[in-house]
Structure 1
Amino acid sequence: MSISRHYEREFVRTFFTSPAAVEGEDDSAKMIQSAAQLRGMQAPDVWVPDNEDATAPSMRDEGVQNIVDVISEYGSDFPGEIHPRVVWHRESPTTRYQGFQQMLEVADPANGAVENLDGFVIPEVGDIDDWKKADEFITIIENEHGLEEGSLSMSVIVESGEAELALGDLREEMGKPSNNLERLFLLVDGQVDYTKAMRAMTPTGELPPWPELRHNTSRGASAAELIAVDGPYDDIRDVEGYHKRMTENRAKGMTGIWSLTPGQVVEANTAPLPPKTGSWLLEVGDREVELDEEDGQQVYSGGDISLETIGDGQYLLEVKGDQQELDEDELREELLNMTAYVPSMDDIVDSMEEFEAAKEAGKGAIAMTRSTTLVIDDIEVNLSNDRMWDEATYQAAQTPVTLFQDVYEHRPDQHEELEEMYGADVVERATSVGN
């Protein structure tokens, strides 16, 4: 399926919401004014002035005016995309009409904001018929204001079982002449309201992790050529947990995540990018430990693994109390199975360039060798393995580089930070490899 898009982004790392109006403040627009002036790694790929959950119902009329004023003043210089969230609900015609009125006001060219506006975020959607209602409202707004049809994107927040089921209908429904669903951009998970809608409970009252929802949203986005974004991670001080969640998401094909603070924006903007330096990991029970590099060797200094010689060419390897007697070849094979390498940006680019050169020379597959010396309890073990690279391997390795290229193209405000991270030479090579 090929869908005509009015945007070019293939990846969104960060979805940052900020209240459109703050109650009890001298300037109720202070939060979105601050967000609109974020730059570099602190600025999200998608900024969402939020006139729904983050804004009290009594402040939402003022929130609409604040959105118009702030986007008019700051929007042209904001480095990411701007997609305000309006009110909506699958079971409330009144709320849907209020959302329509909010969008109609924000998108009015006479108010000066629409030229800096990329689209709208629609929360609390239901089945596919409800998505079409939102789409039709936006089509009416475009026609009412003389805008090009499809010029405003629509992103939805998946917060109910009905919306999750609708993900399976998108591929068939998009592109029909009876709708403009081609305007869809992001599919965003909203785990809090989803938990409420599902009547789910946990002993501690914490949110369930909902891996199935994240998988289904990522699958729906892939099938319909859209972008999937995970919902909020509300423990804003748990940086390690935030990183773990993002790592799990990327394994599902979901690069983007909701960010609640500028600090989370920085973490989410940088985490998906390939690391500056490569690292070796050693599997210890059910976790992986990053090894320390010393003089070009990888050193394990923990207490869960021990290694000793017990005779000529014989070794005793103990992992968390489990012992094995191994000869040198067996030891090397066992440790190879326990280690993994996380490639740096430079490593990935090197491998891609090497494969491109081999392909140009007429080779369909080549072996890439990775070797190191692992040190456990002062015993050195030389490890080396070959990985066959063919076209499929090359395409898979290209994904993080394609992400980097997408970021580099659409976020020139981050160029300086990227060059500081990787070096100008690596950045130059990474922007050209694979093209």
Structure 2
Amino acid sequence: MTERRHDREFVRTFFTSPTAVEGEDDSAKMLRRAADLRGLEAPDVWVPDNEDATAPSMREEGAENVAEVVADSGADFPGEIHPRVVWHRDDPAARYRGFQQMLTVADPDRGAVDHIDGFVIPEVGDIDDWKKADEALTLVETEHGLDRGSLAMSVIVESGEAELAMRHLREEVGKPTNSLERLFLLVDGEVDYTKDMRATTPTGELPPWPELRHNTSRGASAAGLIAVDGPYDDIRDVEGYRERMEANRAKGMTGIWSLTPGQVVEANTAPLPPETGRWLLSAGDRRVELDDRDGAWAYDGDRLSLDETGDDYRLRVGGDERRLDAEQLREELLGLVEYVPSMSDVVDSMEEFEAARESGTGAIAIERAATLRLDGVDVEISSDRMWDEATYQAAMTPIRLFQDVYDHRPDQREELEERYGEDVVERATTVG
């Protein structure tokens, strides 16, 4: 795995807020609200957004607001702070305005730069444009007497050019002719990407762009960076937001854009290992979660049925019906169920493997057993999963995420202990 270049190994939440609201007595009120967020409502990365979220006529005032609010409240904000400035690959004037905004926010006399971790650059193009943004940041650092590379740079991938540019990062990062090692986040911007690709759908909704999310995750992995998905605009569709995050995590993309504190809470908690384990059953064309009832995992739906007929059983899944003996039934059900381990389960398995490894054993079998209850019929199932070093390292990813959160977000520790219990939290912080 490529070495990470920043303190954070994972970013779950990328939360934007307008820098200046027109027609308000206090144009910085949204910034002040965001700066006061704490615990699970506070993002890992807060992005005072002086581009799309702020009207063009308010952006000069917005840069002033960022400097003022971050100077006042930045020291106490529990996440990182990365303001977004204007930029465009095809517009020198936009790039110059972005440079001026960075100069304003990073001016040491304004008191904010000590709490600013970097800047977010939108609308980048090919790799030469990324270098222009890097050079602008270097000039800001030089102008204000800051160490070269002290300001991180995150980019929003909003064009085909930017998507292709990610292929060049491994060879470009670290060259003495640039400071691209300052790169931190690669963030998808599906709205402008759709516009750049001239893509359409019958309903006018955005295409899902799974390829873009895969490519961004791959580009981040190859260059030691962190990938973040773009905004999920339907803020009331909590289940859809969760499904999007689950699909992203299967691509290695933990982080997602959050538009509201409610989305921040969802995105902060969704990647963490579950509090309790659960069994899932493939019933017809659906996968459903079984209910934990009196020591058995029960299914009461109509997509699957089970009848006990003397010495054998009749199992119906969808339109397929089979007559099975007890052993065949157990094997059939093992193919239909999956177990989602809890944090405690994962820690138990890792500790068991670590103990075996210490004693010189390279692989062990870990048993998982349960009682399934289908149409009132109880069936005992069990399976063994082989754990070796590769399995152990794969299981370490959610634990590393937890450890990263625990180390960098002490404001969330109390909520983590409430979620898992003190004993599990203590073991999870030391395992590995």
TM-score (norm 1): 0.98
- Aligned residue for 2:334, secondary structure, equals helix
Could you list the per-position Cα deviations for residues 56-83 of structure 1 after superposition, in whole angstroms to 9, with x for gaps in the alignment? 0000011001000000000000000000
Deviation at 1:309, TM superposition (A): 2.2
Structure 1 equivalent of residue 84 of structure 2: 85
1:17 is aligned to 2:3: no
* Offset, 1:326: 1.6
> Is 1:250 the equivalent of 2:249?
yes
Which residue is 1:324 aligned to? 322
What amino acid sits opposite 2:392 in the alignment? Y
Measure the CA separation in 2 of the matches of 1:113 and 1:332.
Answer: 63
1:298 corresponds to: 297
Contact 1:3 1:182 in 2 (8 A): no
Superposed CA RMSD: 1.0
Percent sequence identity is: 74
Structure 1 position 285, deviation (Å): 2.6
Q: How does 1:258-337 map to 2 (within 5 A)?
A: 258-312=257-311, 314-337=312-335
1:227 equivalent to 2:211? Answer no
Q: Distance in 1 between matches of 2:365 and 2:2?
A: 35
* Superposed displacement of residue 3, structure 1: 6.2
Task: Indicate which of 419, 422, 430 corresponds to 1:421.
Answer: 419
- The C-alpha deviation readout for 1:184-237, integer Å capped at 9, x for no partner, is 000000000000000000000000000000000000000000000000000000
Distance across 1 between alignment mates of 2:414 and 2:408 = 14
Which residue does the alignment assign to 1:206? 205
What is the aligned partner in structure 2 of residue 238 from structure 1? 237
Q: Distance in 2 between matches of 1:309 and 1:346?
A: 35
Letter in 2 for 1:246: M
Return the alpha-carbon distance in structure 2 between the equivalents of residues 365 and 287 of structure 1. 34
Partner residue of 1:70? 69
| Contact 1:4-1:182 within 8 A present in 2 as well | no
CA contact (8 A) 1:20 1:49 kept: yes
Residue equivalent to 1:392: 390
Q: Give a deviation string over 1:310-333, Cα, whole Å, max 9, x none.
A: 342x21111122212222211111
What is the deviation of 1:302? 1.0
Partner Cα distance (2:52, 2:324) in 1: 60
Worse overlay, 170-179 or 214-223: 170-179
Take 1:146 and 1:286, find their aligned partners in 2: how far apart are those partners? 62
Aligned to 1:113: 112
Q: Which amino acid aligns with 1:430?
A: A
Residue identity matched to 1:177: P
Distance 1:4 1:418, change over 3 A: closer
Give the distance between the partners of 1:321 and 1:421, measured in 2 at CA.
41
Q: Where in structure 2 are there 5+ consecutive unaligned residues?
A: none
CA distance in 2, matches of 1:71, 1:142: 18
Instruction: Name the counterpart of 1:54.
Output: 53
Q: Give me the whole-angstrom Cα distance separating, in 2, the residues matched to 1:334 and 1:288.
A: 16
Matched, 1:351 2:343: no
Q: SS of 1:169's equivalent?
A: helix
* Equivalent residue runs for 1:163-202 within 5 Å: 163-202=162-201
Q: What is the alpha-carbon distance in structure 2 between the residues aligned to residue 339 and residue 4 of structure 1?
A: 37
Contact 2:4 2:224 in 1 (8 A): no
| Corresponding residue SS for 2:335 | helix
Give the whole-Å Cα distance in 2 for the aligned partners of 1:324 and 1:23: 67
In the other structure, the counterpart of 1:383 is 381
Distance 1:2 1:230, change over 3 A: closer
Amino acid aligned to 2:81:
I
What residue number does 2:367 align with?
369
CA distance in 1, matches of 2:164, 2:302: 48
1:79 alignment partner, SS class: coil
Q: Answer whether contact 2:284 2:304 (CA < 8 A) is retained.
A: no
Tell me by how many angstroms 1:2 deviates: 6.2
